[in-house]
Amino acid sequence: MEVLGVWIAAGLTLCIFSFLYRDNPFYKFAEHLYVGFSAGYWLVYTWEYTIKGMLIDPIRLQHAYSVLIPGFFGVLMLSRWFPRIAWLSRISISFTVGIGAGLALTGQIHGFILPQLKATLLPLTSINNFLIVFGVITTLFYFFFSRERKGVTRVFARIGIVYIMVAFGAAFGYTVMARISLLIGRFLFLFRDWLHIIKV
């Protein structure tokens, strides 16, 4: 079964790679298989980790029947399937959106803005510190569109672009690295686990 599994995996890998030559039935087959299995996987883990993990287990182990209330609101989310009562799903959605917004409001200030600003308040005793402070300020200037760019604001915005371009270039370099890594992973699978011509 193990060997059959590896051959199936290798076959599907080659089906996807065949797209590089051109779109073809093997690729389409593999693509639809992937989407279908992924959707099935979502449903399996929704049962295992949401319904069983968060509803059935608390009732079974802790007699926490109060979880039926959010369970009911979760089911209410599915009222979207029925146009006449679809508006009921807004109750569940608004609950989750409200919680998310409340968490984000305090979290972003306390967990991001303040620590990042604190880390930018550096003594200008070294070139690196100066470059960091100047870089953050000029980048923020670039994104400030409420005022016409004249004089100092124009110069700062131009310098901000320089920093942003360096950042994007670095990001591109790392993106190339990431994509090549994924390809290396697949070839390692084909040569090690399928064809057994290398040992790692």
Cα separation, 164 vs 70, whole angstroms: 45
SS3 (DSSP) at 197: coil
Which residues within the stretch 158-197 sit at the binding site for another protein (CB under 8 A)?
160-189, 191, 197
Q: Among 100, 124, 154, 155, which residue sits at the site for another protein (rule: CB under 8 A)?
A: 100
Please work out the total of residues on this chain that contact another protein, with binding judged by CB under 8 A.
136
Contact between 123 and 108 (Cβ < 8 Å):
no
Least Å from the CB of residue 148 to another protein = 19
In the bound state with another protein, the residue whose beta carbon lies nearer, of 124 and 140, is 140
Which residues within the stretch 18-77 sit at the binding site for another protein (CB under 8 A)?
19-21, 28-55, 57-58, 61-62, 66-67, 69-71, 73-75, 77
In the bound state with another protein, the residue whose beta carbon lies nearer, of 155 and 180, is 180
Q: How many CB atoms lie within 10 A of CB 194?
A: 16
Which residues within the stretch 1-20 sit at the binding site for another protein (CB under 8 A)?
1, 5-6, 8-10, 12-13, 16-17, 19-20
Q: Among 23, 24, 82, 107, which residue sits at the site for another protein (rule: CB under 8 A)?
A: 107
Q: Among 23, 82, 120, 124, which residue sits at the site for another protein (rule: CB under 8 A)?
A: 120
In the bound state with another protein, the residue whose beta carbon lies nearer, of 152 and 177, is 177
119-130 burial code (b ≥16 CB/10 A, e <16): eeeeeeeeeeee
CA dihedral (184, 186, 191, 193) in degrees, to 10, reads 130
Q: Is 77 exposed, middle or buried (0-12, 13-18, 19+ CB in 10 A)?
A: middle
Residue written as tokens 């760019």?
Answer: 149
168 Cβ neighbours under 8 A, 6+ residues apart = none
Least Å from the CB of residue 193 to another protein = 10
In the bound state with another protein, the residue whose beta carbon lies nearer, of 10 and 153, is 10
Contact between 60 and 68 (Cβ < 8 Å):
no
In the bound state with another protein, the residue whose beta carbon lies nearer, of 125 and 181, is 181
Q: Is 159 exposed, middle or buried (0-12, 13-18, 19+ CB in 10 A)?
A: middle
Q: Among 23, 82, 98, 155, which residue sits at the site for another protein (rule: CB under 8 A)?
A: 98
In the bound state with another protein, the residue whose beta carbon lies nearer, of 44 and 148, is 44
